Amino acid sequence: MPPSDIDYMLRALELARQAEAADEVPIGAVLVRNDAIIATGANQPIGACDPTAHAEIEAMRAGARALGGYRLTDTTLYVTLEPCLMCAAALVHARVRRVVFGAFDPLAGGAGGLIDVFKLGGLNHRVDVFGGVLAEQCGALLRGFFERRRD
């Protein structure tokens, strides 16, 4: 039996915990093609001194290298938090087929939280988006991180 959305999200949660251990906001991403993980990413804008080093971008960069091109057709990206506007736009440009995310982000989400980039008219590619997979676990990891930062 092939892995499920939950299996891939559990791997993304492991990556989010690695980001947290590096004192980054705990977000992890897994890029899958043909039921195989081809790339992963963990949030690292602080450590990389790169404002674009979000987990999704890191996974897409690694995936592009693995596939030998910037088009990530027939892939699914699993990420623990709803993609931001930047990441949502990058997912469209990379031609990712499907995005599955965990926690919703009503303040900065680009898949409906703040705005739904994926539903903007005139885009030359459509991405199927599904949110809420292991949302409680993903959200609890983020809430715990920020609560500890405030203390």
Task: Report, as residue numbers or ranges, the catalytic residues.
Answer: 56
Asked whether 127 and 96 are in contact (CB, 8 A), the reply is yes
- Which residue has tokens 């008219």? 121
Report d(CA 81, CA 34) in Å as an integer: 23
Report d(CA 35, CA 41) in Å as an integer: 17
User: Between 85-93 and 55-67, two packed helices, what is the crossing angle to 10 degrees?
Assistant: 20
Asked whether 70 and 20 are in contact (CB, 8 A), the reply is no
Strand, helix or coil for residue 18: helix
Asked whether 117 and 127 are in contact (CB, 8 A), the reply is no
